[in-house]
Chains A and B, each alone.
Chain A
Amino acid sequence: MKRLGRGPVARRWRSGTSGHRGVRELTGYFRDKMGGGWLGYRGLFAALLASPQFGLSVYWFTYTSVSLGTGTFYLTLIPILIAVPLIALLPGKSGITPRLLGTYALWALLPYTLYDWGRVPMNLIFGIPFWDHWYDWGASIMGTSGTIFRYDTLTTGLASHVLRGWGFGVAYYILVRRVTLVSAFAMGWAMTFFYWLVFPVWVLTDALPPWIWWFTAWMSHMVFALGLWLSPKVFAYYRKAY
Chain B
Amino acid sequence: MRARGPLILLTLALTYVGPYAFVYARTATWTFPRIDERDADAFDGVEVLVAQAAELERIESVSGAQRATYSVNVNLMHRKFLDWIGFPLVLEVNDFTFSATGVYQGSVVMACSQFDKAFDKPTGVEPWYIYQPLVDKNDNTTVEVGCTGDASAINLASLPVSISFNWSVEATLVGDRNEKVRSWTGSQTVEVRNVRP
Contacts and interface: CB of A to CB of B under 8 A. Distances in A.
Interface string A48-63: 0000000000000001
A149 B124 contact: no
Interface stretch (B4-12, B101-109, B149-157, B189-197): B4-12
Contacts of A119: 19
B12 A234 contact: yes
B19 A241 contact: no
B18 A158 contact: no
Contact of A149 (B2, B4, B6, B35): B35
B15 A131 contact: no
Interface stretch (B22-30, B48-56, B165-173): B22-30
B12 A204 contact: no
Interface in A113-140: 113-114, 116-117, 119-120, 123, 129-132, 134
A175 interface: no
Contacts of A147: 176-178
Given A204-B131, A241-B5, A129 B31 contact: yes
A132 B25 CA distance: 14
B65 interface: no
Given A63-B127, A64-B125, A204-B127, A237 B8 contact: yes
Nearest to B7: A241
Contacts of A132: 84-85
Q: Is the interface of A mostly helix, strand, loop or mixed?
A: helix
B24 A154 contact: yes
B16 A109 contact: yes
B184 interface: no
A65 B131 CA distance: 15
B62 interface: no
B40 to A, nearest CB: 14
A113 B127 contact: no
A242 B32 CA distance: 43
A131 B23 contact: yes
Contacts of A201: 127
Contacts of B20: 116, 158
B128 A207 contact: yes
Interface of B: 1-2, 4-6, 8-9, 12, 15-16, 18-20, 22-24, 26-27, 31-32, 35, 84-85, 87, 124-128, 131-132, 176-178
Interface of A: 63-65, 109-110, 113-114, 116-117, 119-120, 123, 129-132, 134, 147, 149, 151, 154, 158, 201-202, 204-205, 207-208, 234, 237-238, 241-242
23 contacts: A109-B16, A110-B15, A113-B15, A117-B18, A117-B19, A120-B22, A129-B31, A131-B26, A132-B84, A149-B176, A154-B27, A158-B20, A158-B23, A204-B126, A204-B131, A205-B85, A205-B87, A238-B12, A241-B1, A241-B2, A241-B4, A241-B8, A242-B2
